[in-house]
Structures are given as structure tokens and as C-alpha cells.
């Protein structure tokens, strides 16, 4: 904790050298650090004094309860201010300010993300979102007619659509496997993939944590299974990065794509693609780059004119997350998850939480449904009547409300949600 507080104080003192840093936001972190002291992340998870200081960094409307931070999260005010400042600066003379002054700073963002992920900066490409990163992986691999690709039917819809295009265009074979919700065990998941592999399998694409039910998959074990059989494993980490602690080496991945406007709280339209250095040459960019860039991670950034302001603010968001600490952040998200899930399960046997509450296999995302209430209608009722935002998930094999609080979410927000859910359970809903 001392090191983290020292970092925050140092950032405040360096304000004149780092104009993108908003001193007020880092003062909040410093005050929060004083509240936390040397206590463990679990001890701090329920301390509203600490988290209220963190919440002050966000300029959110407190009359609304936003429990859909998994889709896209608000950015802290100082992150948004940094982006707006750079947009205004760009607009003065874009050819010089945007391309000449701001764009080179992408290298600092690359370095910061590599430090968090635990890899070489020369293996990180800055993208606009996880979809761009993942489609680069999906479309960039050389595959031939008849090659098989394994995904699950809980992979993100846009990724399945991209594979379907390769089916139509290239004649590859796409195999979608199913798995139970809640998941019985991690070994069960590995076995589902193992059983689907044939001699023609060339690629497995998995989610690190599902966007539907919030289960954290055994990525390392599936990557190792793929290596044993000469199969590339692509990992969609859209909902994982900066959500809970992990590193590249812990996952042992060769390919990884994520969004940064979810759990890192960077501006909307930011993400990254990781490609192990030895694999860069063999993975084509989605938009053409010269042959001189064949082994350069920046070939995946050859997308034409785009604002530098968005991606430069990534470094501000990364500093904010480092000031909190991902271990502390994950403990808070799990505390909030358990608070609403346990309250609702105690309310009625009609409530079903379809996400394991085992901290090793889930974090801030969880799925819940109520017997006798249609999920889409419940979501609409919560928002239109009570201004509580959730996400309706309707899958062929299950359904429920996806609940994703964030670090600015208060205990009061969670209790508001459980109170109105209890009302729906007892009295029904009228749309």
C-alpha cells in the first residue's frame, strides 16, 4: 500500500510535467489510500469511505443506477478531460498537432499497456476496440478450405459472424460447442474442447470471460491443449483486461484482444491486440501494410486517419487503475456481486444466479433470472420505472439479466437494485 500511495503522491507532484493528469483525481486516490491504509483488498472491499473517494473521480448522474458497465463504462472525468483537451489541440492545426505532436505519444500508451499485461511493448498494437483486435486475429490467419475452427456458442456474436464470413468465403468449417450454465468445473470446459478436436482442427477461439454469464474460462489449460495438438488458440479478452489481475505469462497466450473502454475506463473506442513476437509475421493485418512492416506490431495500426486523443488518454486511465490496484478493484467487484446475488437468492427460490460465485472463476459479471418473469420485460421495467440499467441476455440455452457494477457503484446502488427486484418478485411487473 505504501508503494501505491507513494506513486499517487509522485504523480501529483509531477503534474506540471504531465499535463494530461488531473490533480483532483489523484488527490482522490491519495485520500482513498489514506483510508485504506495497509489493509488487505478484501478488507477494503466493503469500505464505502474508500470507494466514495474513488467514485468522486467519475462525473456520473447519481439519480441513475448503471449496472451495465460491461458493455461500455464511463471514463473518469480526468480521462475524459484529457481526451477533450487533445481533441481541441488537434483541431487547431491537425496536420501538425494531431500527427506531429500527439500521435507519437501512442508509444507511451503501448509501454503502459505492455507493463500491465506483462509483455514486450513490441507485442502490443493499439486498436479501437476488442472487435477490431479479434477480427484481425480471425481474418489474419491463413486457413484453407476444410480447415476446422472450434468456438463456443457463448462466444461474442460479432466474432461468430466473422467466422461465418470465412465459412462463406473460404470454405472453412466452423464448429460451435455448448457448455452448461452455471459451469460444473474448469475441467469440464477443457474436456468439451478436447472432445471437439479432430485432425482437421486448426484454430480454437475462446472468450477469457464470457460476456453472457461472466464465467472465467481456463485459458492457460486450453492454450496448452492447443499447443499439444498444433492448434492456434485465439483469446477474446474484451471483458477481462483491468477487470481482475492476470498477466500474459499466467495465460501463456500467443494472441489476445481486448477493449479498454470497459474495465480500464479509457475513452470509448480504445482497445489492444497482443501478438507474441514470433507470430507477428504470420498474422496478416486487417488493413494492408507494406511488406517492410511484416514483423512490426504497428502494421495492425495501419487504419487510416483517426484521432490520437482517444488512444493517448489510455495512459491516464492506466495510471488511475494502477493507483487503485487491480487486486483491490477485483475484490470490490466481487463484494458487490455477492451482495446482490446473495440478497436475491435469499428473497425467493424463484431466483437463479447462473454464474458461479467462486472467486476463482468469476468476478464483476453475473447473470440472474426469476421464474415467471420474462427477462426482456424485467429489464425494461427496471429502467423505465426505476432508472436501473441492466443487460437482458437471451440465449437459446438460458436467459437472465447481466449485472455489471463498477468501481463507482455504491452499496446504496446495489441495494436499490435488490429492493426493486424484490418488488418485482413479490408483486410482478406491469409494462
Domain spanning 328-425: CATH 3.90.1150.10: yes
List CB contacts of 195: < 8 A, sequence separation 6 or more. Answer: none
Q: Which residue has the cell 495465460?
A: 251
Please give the angle made by the CA atoms of 343, 341 and 409, to the nearest 5 degrees. Answer: 95
Domain spanning 100-317: CATH 3.40.640.10: yes
Per-residue model confidence (pLDDT) at position 27: 63
Which grid cell is 356? 458461479
Average pLDDT, rounded, for the chain: 93
Please give the angle made by the CA atoms of 108, 300 and 177, to the nearest 5 degrees. Answer: 115
Per-residue model confidence (pLDDT) at position 121: 98
Per-residue model confidence (pLDDT) at position 430: 75
Pairing, β 173-177 against β 148-152:
parallel
Residue ranges of domains in the chain: 100-317, 328-425
Asked if the model's pLDDT at residue 11 lies above 70, the reply is no
Terminal CA-to-CA distance of the chain, rounded, Å?
A: 49
Q: Are 362 and 355 in contact (CB under 8 A)?
A: yes
Per-residue model confidence (pLDDT) at position 32: 66
List pLDDT tens digits, range 13-58. Answer: 333 233 344 555 556 666 666 767 789 999 999 999 999 999 999 9
Amino acid at each position: 500500500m505504501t508503494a501505491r500511495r507513494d506513486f499517487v503522491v509522485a504523480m501529483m507532484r509531477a503534474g506540471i510535467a504531465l499535463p494530461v493528469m488531473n490533480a483532483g483525481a489523484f488527490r482522490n486516490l491519495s485520500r482513498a489510500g489514506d483510508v485504506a491504509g495497509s489493509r488487505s483488498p478484501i478488507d477494503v472491499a466493503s469500505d464505502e469511505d474508500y470507494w466514495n473517494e474513488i467514485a468522486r473521480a467519475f462525473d456520473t448522474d447519481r439519480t441513475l443506477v448503471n449496472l451495465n458497465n460491461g458493455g461500455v463504462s464511463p471514463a473518469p472525468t480526468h480521462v475524459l478531460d484529457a481526451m477533450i483537451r487533445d481533441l481541441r489541440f488537434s483541431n487547431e492545426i491537425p496536420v501538425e498537432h494531431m500527427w506531429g505532436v500527439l500521435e507519437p505519444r501512442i508509444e507511451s500508451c503501448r509501454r503502459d499497456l505492455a507493463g500491465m499485461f506483462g509483455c514486450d511493448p513490441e507485442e502490443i498494437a493499439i486498436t479501437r476496440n476488442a472487435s477490431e483486435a479479434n477480427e484481425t486475429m480471425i481474418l489474419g490467419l491463413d486457413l484453407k478450405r476444410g480447415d476446422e475452427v472450434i468456438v463456443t456458442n457463448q462466444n461474442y456474436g460479432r466474432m461468430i459472424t466473422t467466422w461465418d464470413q470465412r465459412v462463406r468465403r473460404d470454405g472453412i468449417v466452423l464448429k460451435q460447442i455448448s457448455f452448461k450454465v452455471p459451469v460444473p468445473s474448469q475441467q469440464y470446459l477443457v474436456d468439451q474442447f478436447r472432445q471437439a478436436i479432430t485432425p482437421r482442427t486448426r484454430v480454437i477461439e475462446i472468450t477469457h470471460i464470457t460476456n453472457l454469464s461472466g464465467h472465467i474460462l481456463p485459458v492457460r489449460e486450453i492454450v496448452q491443449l492447443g499447443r499439444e495438438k498444433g492448434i492456434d488458440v485465439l483469446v477474446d479478452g474484451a471483458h477481462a483486461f483491468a477487470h481482475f489481475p492476470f498477466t500474459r505469462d499466467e495465460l501463456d497466450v500467443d494472441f489476445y484482444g481486448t477493449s479498454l473502454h470497459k474495465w480500464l475506463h479509457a475513452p470509448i473506442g480504445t482497445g489492444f491486440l497482443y501478438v507474441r513476437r514470433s507470430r507477428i509475421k504470420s498474422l496478416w493485418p486487417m488493413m494492408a501494410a507494406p511488406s517492410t512492416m511484416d514483423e512490426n506490431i504497428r502494421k495492425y495500426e495501419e487504419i487510416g486517419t483517426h484521432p490520437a486523443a482517444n488512444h493517448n488518454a489510455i495512459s491516464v486511465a492506466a495510471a488511475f487503475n494502477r493507483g487503485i490496484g487491480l487486486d483491490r478493484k477485483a475484490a470490490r467487484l466481487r463484494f458487490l456481486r455477492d451482495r446482490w446475488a446473495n440478497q436475491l437468492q435469499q428473497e425467493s427460490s424463484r431466483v437463479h444466479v447462473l454464474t458461479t460465485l467462486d472467486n476463482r472463476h468469476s468476478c464483476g459479471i453475473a447473470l440472474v433470472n426469476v421464474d415467471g418473469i420474462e427477462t426482456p420485460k424485467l429489464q425494461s421495467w427496471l429502467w423505465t420505472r426505476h432508472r436501473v440499467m441492466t443487460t437482458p441476455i437471451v440465449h437459446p440455452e438460458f436467459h437472465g439479466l447481466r449485472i455489471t457494477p463498477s468501481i463507482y457503484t455504491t452499496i446504496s446502488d446495489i441495494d436499490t437494485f435488490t429492493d426493486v427486484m424484490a418488488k418485482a418478485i413479490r408483486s410482478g411487473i406491469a409494462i
